[in-house]
């Protein structure tokens, strides 16, 4: 069996190498049939990768511990539903997963755009194949998932903190996002190589970019939800390098999604867009590398990690290649249109881009700082949450303001007076919200007040746009309000889908501010029968229990919760001790969501003492559930923006028919 | 325009480093013992060496930290919450300062490196 997997990978290697060479030669010489053959080789490589993945999955399902990778990441008693999780829980498996998605997505993208790729952008195929080739080489020669060994009695088991439903979908979501960013990169570079620097590469890849961006964004929030429930320190985002790894390409992709609109409408920012797409792709590779190699804290692990040097080399190749391509085509890439006014929609997009990219780069600097400082001074230095929080506020707040103003500014040139008139309503709503909040006692935190009022501003601006648009459609002859609303959104999916995403980000801000500055924490040691009070809740410690469940011992502190005179039931918090493998201990927090008060009671059983007492850390997290809800709204908005639209297809066909004539 | 914005971002950066004092140095036991770090707030990273004694909620948890790839150790005393994964042999880091030869941890700053999410265990197999 491992031989079959290895053979599939070698076959995949041969196929992608053929796709690179034949595709490159076909592009140079204009041989279409050879180009088609290179494309088919890419599709065949996908099938080969799929076969290799199938072999590995079968090994997990049958507990074939002669696979070293299976023995390291699974055990006989691991439920079958975690076979997939185990498959990508390690380095080799996740790289295999990566290249399978890449060849799959790449195949679909070139097949869907068959004519465009064959006639206009033939370089797409060899570029995609080259990226895939890198991963296949690593899989074949450096980090193979098909190493064999004498089968041990049992495997090391899957890390218990990964045995969680969110962890089944969070990594593949992120990977779809990371990998998906290869598609716009390959088309953009192909456009440069083929001297076709018009907007066709953007239209061909718009939905791929949107989908990758959606997967990344939603994946980050799924990871947060997992961390909130499973890691259980009481927060949701910790600026951990692995989290930042996904945040950076997401920020740059967000900038890209905005700036392509300027290129489509005004034919500006053409160089900038190619730079952004290359940066987003580079950061997605860097992100994969961070999560999968362990070089974050010390430069020394470069020499320890077998794939460290490979990744670093690949990153350098990407950087050099992208810069060379852009410099080479700079003369034909430069836009001939200039920005007319600093108060206009395109200017708002530009500011948004600068803040987003600046934020992404400061995060990158923070992530790379330990490595850089160690290389330069010999002593690694780290930057912590204060660094990220500072820049999150400095770059985030202007972004929030722009999110409210941007949609209200006219293209080309807007007068400040017009602008003032159109933001008057949302600004008024924000001021009133601020007043109400002050009266309600939220004034204890300036940052909290700023965050809430800014979020109110954005949401008011979004609602205003929906109301105006619906009213306009109603007056155009739609019979009902509902009909007017649906036809408004249906005819302008990108625009109104985008507004839904804006609203979701504003909600996320409200949730993040709520838990960030208005939460309460209390740490107490309780004997059985004793009580403690936190944020209006009373917790009585009833005692602890210890149960043997499947492969673990569950230790729980049981608490009776009440508010005023009203009993609210019991809550359990504790730890699981896993009996096999590496004998991990996992933290099992108790969470009680109070929808009416929009807050979570969050209990961590920090320490069980021998005398029966327990150390409890209890938090009241206000509005944290808005963060999860905002994730669903984000998903909805993103889906609306990329929903297929026949009208748009006809418009595009017309546009390029004219351009060619 | 671009140059202006780059300048603006750099200015913000300088502002930050000047008022917040920038980054914390992250040291290994051999570095903190050899260097002049007494009383200075740093991050210490290493492998936990038992015996682990004391009470993190009482007078303090006591253990030693060793270099990842060396023999030098330094005694540590720490109060606050202890991660579940904490035990002898684990990679951990914590904030604090060296006082009279003992590293005194800042409360609640102890973090273990997640064993599977980052580096695979067999990193030295190459």
Q: How far apart are CA A383 and CA A365, in angstroms?
A: 9
**Which chain B positions have a beta carbon within 8 Å of A305's beta carbon?**
119, 123, 126
pLDDT of residue A601 exceeding 50, the answer is yes
Residue A339: per-residue pLDDT: 78
Helix (H/G/I), strand (E/B), else coil: A286? helix
Query: Who contacts A7 (Cβ-Cβ below 8 Å, separation ≥6)?
Result: none
Task: Calculate ∠ Cα A96-A98-A104, nearest 5°.
Answer: 100
Q: Of A11, A34, A14, which is closest to residue A24 (Cα–Cα)?
A: A34
Whether A362 sits inside 8 A of B43 (CB atoms) is: no
Highest mean pLDDT among A331-340, A518-527, B41-50: A518-527
Q: Which residues contact A635 (CB under 8 A, 6 or more apart)?
A: A214, A218
pLDDT average, residue stretch A616-634:
95
pLDDT (tens digit per residue) in A210-266: 999 999 999 999 999 988 998 888 889 988 888 899 999 999 999 999 999 999 888
pLDDT band at B122 (very low <50, low <70, confident <90, very high): very low
Q: Given this model, what pLDDT does residue A2 score? A: 85
Binning pLDDT at 50, 70 and 90, where does residue A49 land? very high
Q: What percent of chain B has pLDDT over 90?
A: 13
- ipTM reported for the complex, 2 dp: 0.73
Nearest to B16 among A373, A380, A390 (CB): A390
Q: Check residues B17 and A399 and name the one with the higher pLDDT.
A: A399
Q: Which residues of B touch A379 (CB under 8 A)?
A: 25-27, 31
Give the separation between CA A391 and CA B13, rounded to whole angstroms: 9
* pLDDT of B85 strictly over 90: no
Residue with the bigger pLDDT between A234 and A384: it is A234
Query: B63 — phi, psi (to 5°)?
Result: -160, 180
Residue A381 has pLDDT above 90, yes or no: no
DSSP states of A215-232 as a string? HHHHHHHHHHHHIIIII-
pLDDT confidence bin for B2, thresholds 50/70/90: low
Task: Quote the tokens at residue A178.
Answer: 């990371």
Q: Output the pLDDT for position A258.
A: 95
Pairing of strands B24-27, B42-55: parallel
pTM of the prediction?
0.91
What is the reported pLDDT for A295? 56
A386 with B125: Cβ contact below 8 A: no
- Tell me what the mean pLDDT of segment B48-59 comes to: 85
Task: Write the pLDDT tens digit of every residue in A637-648.
Answer: 999 999 988 888
Q: Is B120's pLDDT higher than 50?
A: no
Model confidence at B18, pLDDT cuts 50, 70, 90, reads: low
Q: Decide if A294 and B120 are in contact by the 8 Å CB cutoff.
A: yes
pLDDT of B119 > 50? The answer is: no
Mean pLDDT of chain A, nearest integer: 89
Mutate to test the interface with B, among A89, A161, A311 (most CBs of B within 10 A): A161
Does residue A582 sit in helix, strand or coil?
Answer: coil
A225 Cβ contact partners less than 8 Å away, ≥ 6 residues apart:
A166, A236, A628, A631
What is the rounded CA–CA span in Å between residue A512 and residue A437?
16
Predicted confidence at residue A299, as pLDDT, reads: 47
- In whole numbers, what is the pLDDT of chain B averaged over residues? 77
- Residue A160 has a pLDDT of 74
Q: In this complex, which of B20, B43, B81 lies closest to A386 when CB atoms are compared?
A: B20
Closest of A563, A592, A623, A601 to residue A437, by C-alpha? A623
Q: Are A236 and A227 in contact (CB under 8 A)?
A: yes
Angle of CA points A209, A275, A302, to nearest 5°:
90
| C-alpha A441: how far from chain center | 35
**With b meaning 16 or more CB within 10 Å and e meaning fewer, what string describes A246-266?**
bbbbbbbbbbbbbbbbbbbeb
**Could you write out the DSSP letters of every residue in A347-399?**
HHHHHHHHHHHHHHHHHHHHHHHHHHHHHHHSSEEE--HHHHHHHHHHHHHHH
Q: Does the pLDDT of residue B124 top 70, yes or no? A: no
Does A415 have pLDDT greater than 60?
yes
A585 with B85: Cβ contact below 8 A: yes
In chain A, pLDDT over 70 holds for what percent of residues?
A: 97
Residue B110: strand, helix, or coil: coil
- The residue written with tokens 């949609």 in the block is A407
Q: Is the pLDDT of residue B123 over 60?
A: no
Average pLDDT over residues A113-129: 92
Residue A614: closest CA among chain B residues belongs to which residue? B57
Strand partners of residue B98: B38, B103
Residue B116 pLDDT more than 50?
no
Q: What share of chain B is helix, strand, coil (3-state, %, to 5)?
A: 20, 35, 40
Residues of B in Cβ contact (< 8 Å) with A294: 118-120, 123
- Greatest mean pLDDT among A85-94, A453-462, B50-59, B82-91 lies in A453-462
List pLDDT tens digits, range A133-175: 999 999 999 889 999 888 888 888 787 777 778 888 888 899 9
Of chain B residues 68-107, which have a CB less than 8 A from chain A?
68-69, 81-82, 84-85, 93
The string of pLDDT tens digits covering residues A490-545 is 888 999 999 999 999 999 999 999 998 999 999 899 999 999 999 999 999 999 99
Quote the CA–CA distance of A360 and A318 in Å, as a whole number.
18
CB atoms B116 and A159 under 8 Å: yes
Name the token pair of A533.
């009070």
């Amino acid at each position: 069996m491992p031989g079959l997997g290895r053979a599939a990978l070698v076959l995949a290697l041969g196929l992608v190498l053929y796709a690179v060479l034949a595709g490159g030669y076909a592009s140079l010489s204009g041989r279409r049939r050879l180009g088609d053959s290179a494309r088919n080789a890419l599709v065949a490589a996908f099938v080969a990768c799929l076969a290799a993945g199938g072999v590995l999955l079968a090994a997990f399902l049958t507990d074939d511990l002669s696979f070293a990778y299976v023995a390291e990441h699974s055990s006989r008693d691991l439920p079958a539903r975690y076979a997939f999780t185990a498959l990508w829980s390690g380095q080799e498996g996740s790289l295999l997963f990566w290249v399978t998605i890449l060849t799959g997505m790449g195949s679909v993208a070139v097949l869907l755009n068959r004519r465009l790729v064959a006639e206009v952008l033939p370089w797409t195929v060899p570029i995609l194949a080259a990226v895939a080739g890198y991963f296949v080489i690593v899989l074949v020669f450096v980090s193979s998932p098909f190493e064999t060994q004498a089968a041990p009695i049992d495997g090391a088991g899957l890390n218990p903190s990964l045995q969680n439903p969110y962890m089944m979908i969070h990594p593949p979501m992120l990977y779809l996002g990371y990998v998906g960013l290869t598609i716009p990169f390959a088309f953009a570079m192909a456009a440069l190589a083929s001297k076709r620097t018009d907007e066709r590469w953007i239209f061909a890849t718009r939905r791929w970019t949107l989908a990758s961006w959606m997967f990344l964004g939603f994946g980050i929030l799924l990871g947060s939800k997992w961390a909130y429930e499973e890691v259980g320190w009481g927060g949701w985002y910790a600026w951990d390098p692995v989290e930042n790894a996904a945040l950076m390409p997401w920020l740059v992709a967000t900038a890209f999604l905005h700036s392509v609109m300027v290129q489509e409408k005004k034919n500006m920012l053409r160089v900038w867009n190619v730079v952004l797409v290359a940066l987003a792709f580079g950061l997605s590779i860097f992100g994969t590398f961070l999560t999968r190699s362990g070089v974050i804290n010390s430069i020394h692990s470069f020499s320890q990690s077998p794939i460290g040097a490979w990744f670093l080399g690949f990153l350098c190749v990407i950087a050099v290649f992208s810069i060379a391509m852009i410099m080479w085509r700079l003369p034909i890439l430069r836009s001939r249109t200039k920005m007319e006014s600093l108060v206009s929609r395109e200017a708002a997009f530009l500011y948004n881009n600068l803040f987003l990219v600046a934020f992404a780069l400061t995060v990158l600097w923070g992530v790379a700082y330990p490595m850089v400082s160690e290389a330069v001074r010999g002593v690694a230095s780290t930057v912590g949450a204060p660094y990220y929080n500072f820049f999150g506020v400095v770059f985030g707040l202007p972004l929030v303001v722009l999110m409210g103003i941007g949609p209200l500014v006219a293209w080309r040139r807007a007068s400040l007076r017009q602008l003032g008139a159109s933001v008057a309503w949302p600004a008024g709503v924000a001021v009133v919200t601020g007043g109400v909040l002050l009266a309600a006692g939220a004034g204890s935190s300036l940052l909290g007040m700023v965050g809430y009022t800014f979020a109110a501003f954005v949401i008011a601006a979004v609602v205003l746009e929906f109301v105006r648009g619906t009213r306009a459609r109603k007056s155009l002859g739609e019979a009902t309000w509902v009909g007017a609303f649906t036809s408004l959104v249906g005819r302008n999916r990108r625009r109104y889908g985008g507004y839904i995403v804006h609203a979701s980000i504003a909600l996320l801000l409200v949730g993040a501010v709520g838990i960030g500055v208005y939460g309460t924490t209390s740490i107490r040691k309780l004997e059985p029968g004793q009580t403690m009070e936190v944020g209006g809740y009373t917790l009585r410690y009833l005692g602890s229990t210890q149960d043997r469940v499947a492969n673990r011992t569950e230790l729980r502190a049981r608490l009776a919760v009440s508010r005023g005179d009203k009993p609210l039931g019991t809550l359990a918090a504790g730890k699981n001790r896993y009996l096999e493998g590496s004998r991990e201990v996992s933290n099992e927090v108790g969470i009680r969501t109070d929808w009416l008060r929009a807050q979570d009671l969050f209990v961590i059983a920090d320490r069980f003492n021998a005398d029966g007492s327990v150390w409890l850390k209890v938090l009241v997290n206000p509005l944290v559930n808005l963060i999860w809800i905002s994730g669903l709204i984000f998903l909805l908005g993103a889906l609306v923006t990329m929903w297929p639209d026949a009208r748009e297809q006809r418009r595009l066909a017309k546009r390029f028919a004219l351009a060619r004539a | 325009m671009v140059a202006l914005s780059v300048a603006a971002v750099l200015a913000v950066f300088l502002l930050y480093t000047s008022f917040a004092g920038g980054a914390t140095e992250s040291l290994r036991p051999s570095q903190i013992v050899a260097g002049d770090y007494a009383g200075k707030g740093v991050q210490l990273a290493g492998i936990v060496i038992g015996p682990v004694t004391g009470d993190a909620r009482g007078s303090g948890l006591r253990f030693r930290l060793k270099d990842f790839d060396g023999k030098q150790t330094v005694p540590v005393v720490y109060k606050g919450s202890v991660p579940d994964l904490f035990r002898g042999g684990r990679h951990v880091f914590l904030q604090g300062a060296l006082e009279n030869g003992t590293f005194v941890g800042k409360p609640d700053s102890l973090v273990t490196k997640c064993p599977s999410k980052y580096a695979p265990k067999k990193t030295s197999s190459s």
